[in-house]
């Protein structure tokens, strides 16, 4: 069965949020708790939602003053539940969407949630595969091996005796994600509408990107395809083993793959007991990630110790192919130039490569960038090459990039993160592990490939064909342009920015004036009624007059409190 597409809709002024009022209250309560009340007030949520905003607790958690905004965001996400944790983990790999400080903090999020009932898992499997469970599996363990925000993993045995693991998607997880994303889309829309400068940050596009990424995460057939492509890359490499995927027992919500009985790479005691060689494992592991990146351009983007296991003869086995990265030939070459430029202390080359690898909304100050690159390279000027760690070096590069508001493509960041993770793992296995020495042959190979005559000839041919097509299309494009000019169809659009705060200020002023006029009218009208001596009376005062004074007093008190507390009606 194919998975349905996530139905994420933009929410209007009120729209669908009434349907999600309870969840909306939960989210707002958590945001108030972690000190984001000022932000929520600026969004003017009470003008769009009738969900009892004043009844929501605004109490802040104690001790927030010592925490950074990024830390408070992480803590709020942890309280908001597994869907938000998953989205936070996705964001932690997107330097094109968030500042570096937030990337590091969100990278600490742990995807561990209680399992759902085994009966539900079995029902999902039978529904997806459209056959009884015992027709596929001879045995199915009820207690899951692991449980995460989107699904859980059970060990099983196929009818032919093959041992497998079955990954089953959580029941109704799509509906849960849709509700949360619809609420996030509403908040993002309000941020763009009411917060100065946030239209440039494009929060609605961030939510839309969430939707695209989560859609892929919820389709287990895509993970199966990743696994099969990865296996083809290393089909003749004896240093790596890739589990088999069973397509007949795999759908968008169920993934069945070979069970691998191996030792976790971080379990040094078991590795030594099994007479395996940690130094050889460190070298092989780093070579494999370099081959994935610089030879194949398709790499495992989450190679933490929980996803790497060791088989006999120091054979390495990668698991969990949900998050993969892709990097093209040109970016591989640029990255190799970056590393070699940093090693050779060539600040101009490093700056030029950084500008090729990144993109920006405003042109960076090249002199300031070159100065910071020079200062960064000074850290490595007098160090022997074997003392240079690849991970910290790349971290320094990202800090320079972030300082100058340059954006790194997400796959490039995933590559840097994967290299840093595997290098750290290598140093855990072998304290003398030298990542730069291991990486050098791959860097040189990438640089030499540019000089291969067949490649040069191919690139010249491609450039010639592009020039030919350009010259062929140019007259027609020019004719169309001149035609639109003659017909008066050329349009120039102007967009005013920065007027929203002024317009909202005018709205508040007009609202208060209208409120004050109504209030004054009630007071004057009630005073006139006192003189009219209209029954019924209470202590010789007309009751309708007393009601007018009570109402006007309440309105005046409400206006005063509103101005003192929040500065608006």
432 in active site: no
d(CA 91, CA 205): 13
Token match 């291969």: residue?
Answer: 452
538 token code pair: 């209470």
DSSP state of 133: G
Helix, strand, coil tally for the chain in percent (to 5)? 60, 10, 30
Instruction: Provide the H-helix boundaries in 118-253.
Output: 118-129, 173-194, 198-201, 203-217, 220-233
Q: Residue 352's beta-bridge partner residues?
A: none
Q: What is the DSSP string of 24-85?
A: HHHHHHHHHHTT-HHHHHHHTGGGT--S-GGGS--PPPTTGGGS-HHHHHHHHHHHH-HHHH
DSSP string, 465-491: HHHHHHHHHHHHHHHHHHHHHHTT---
d(CA 346, CA 411): 25
Q: ω before 222 within 30° of 0 (cis)?
A: no
b/e sequence 153-170, b meaning 16+ C-beta within 10 Å = bbebebeeeeebbbbbbb
CB atoms within 10 A of CB 179: 19
H/E run at residue 152: strand 151-158
Residue whose structure tokens are 């450039």: 463
Active-site choice (302, 320, 372, 434): 302
Q: How many CB atoms lie within 10 A of CB 566?
A: 9
Residues with Cβ within 8 Å of residue 74, at least 6 apart in sequence: 88, 105, 106, 108, 109
Question: In the numeric block, which tokens belong to residue 435?
Answer: 């990542």
* Plot region of 498 (φ>0 → left; ψ -120 to 50 → alpha; else → beta): left
- Do 87 and 214 touch, CB atoms closer than 8 A? yes
Are 301 and 417 a contacting pair, CB within 8 Å? Answer: yes
How buried is 536 (Cβ within 10 angstroms: 0-12 exposed, 13-18 middle, 19+ buried)? exposed
Phi, psi of 277 (to 5 degrees): -105, 105
Closest CA to 407 of 104, 106, 189, 201: 201
Exposed e or buried b per residue across 200-236, where buried means at least 16 C-beta atoms within 10 angstroms of its C-beta: eeebbebbbbbbebbbebbbbbbbbebbeebbebbee
- Pairing outcome for strands 163-169 and 151-158: antiparallel
Q: Which of 280, 315, 290 is nearest to 430 (CA)?
A: 280
Catalytic annotation, residues: 302
């Amino acid at each position: 069965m194919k998975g349905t597409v996530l139905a994420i809709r933009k929410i209007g002024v009120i729209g669908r949020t009434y349907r999600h009022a309870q969840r909306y209250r939960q989210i707002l309560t958590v945001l108030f708790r972690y000190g984001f009340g000022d932000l929520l007030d600026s969004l003017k949520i009470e003008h769009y939602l009738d969900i009892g905003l004043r009844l929501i607790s605004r109490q802040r958690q104690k001790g927030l003053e010592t925490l950074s905004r990024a830390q408070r965001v992480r803590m709020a996400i942890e309280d908001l539940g597994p869907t938000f944790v998953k989205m936070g983990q996705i964001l932690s790999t997107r330097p094109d969407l968030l500042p570096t400080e937030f990337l590091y903090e969100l990278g600490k999020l742990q995807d561990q949630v209680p399992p759902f009932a085994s009966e539900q898992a079995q029902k999902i499997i039978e529904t997806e595969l459209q056959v009884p469970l015992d027709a596929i599996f001879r045995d199915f363990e009820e207690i899951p091996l692991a449980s995460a925000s989107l699904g859980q993993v059970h060990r099983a045995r196929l009818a032919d005796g093959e041992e497998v693991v079955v990954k089953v998607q959580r029941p109704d997880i799509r509906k849960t994600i849709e509700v949360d994303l619809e609420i996030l889309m509403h908040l993002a829309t309000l941020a763009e509408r009411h917060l100065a400068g946030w239209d440039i940050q494009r929060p609605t596009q961030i939510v839309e990107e969430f939707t695209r990424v989560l859609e892929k995460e919820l389709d287990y057939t895509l993970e199966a395809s990743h696994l099969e492509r990865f296996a083809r890359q290393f089909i003749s490499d004896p240093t790596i083993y890739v589990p088999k995927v069973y397509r007949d027992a795999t759908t968008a919500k169920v993934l069945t793959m070979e069970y691998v009985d191996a030792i976790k790479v971080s379990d040094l005691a078991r590795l030594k007991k099994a007479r395996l060689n940690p130094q050889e494992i460190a070298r092989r592991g780093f070579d494999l990630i370099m081959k994935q990146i610089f030879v194949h351009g398709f790499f495992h983007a989450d190679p933490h110790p929980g996803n790497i296991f060791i088989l006999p003869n120091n054979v390495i086995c990668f698991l969990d192919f949900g998050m993969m990265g892709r990097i093209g030939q040109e970016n591989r070459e640029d990255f190799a130039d970056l590393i070699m430029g940093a090693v050779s202390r060539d600040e101009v080359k490093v700056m030029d490569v950084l500008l090729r690898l990144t993109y920006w909304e405003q042109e960076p100050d090249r002199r300031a960038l070159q100065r910071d690159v020079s200062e960064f390279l000074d850290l490595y000027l007098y160090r022997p090459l074997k003392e240079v760690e690849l991970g910290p070096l790349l971290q320094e590069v990202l800090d320079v990039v972030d300082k100058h508001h340059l954006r790194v493509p997400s796959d490039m960041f995933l590559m840097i993160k994967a290299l840093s993770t595997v290098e750290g793992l290598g140093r855990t296995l072998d304290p003398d592990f030298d990542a730069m020495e291991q990486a050098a042959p791959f860097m040189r190979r990438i640089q030499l490939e540019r000089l291969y005559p067949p490649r040069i000839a191919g690139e010249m041919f491609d450039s010639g064909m592009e020039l030919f097509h350009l010259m062929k299309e140019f007259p027609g494009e020019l004719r169309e342009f001149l035609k639109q000019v003659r017909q008066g169809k050329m349009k120039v659009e102007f967009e005013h920015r920065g007027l929203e705060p002024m317009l909202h200020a005018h709205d508040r002023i007009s609202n208060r004036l209208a409120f004050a006029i109504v209030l004054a009218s009630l007071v004057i009208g009630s005073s006139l009624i006192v003189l009219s001596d209209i029954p019924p009376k209470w202590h010789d005062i007309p009751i309708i007059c007393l009601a007018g004074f009570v109402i006007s007093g309440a309105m005046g008190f409400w206006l005063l409190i509103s101005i003192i507390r929040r500065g608006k009606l």
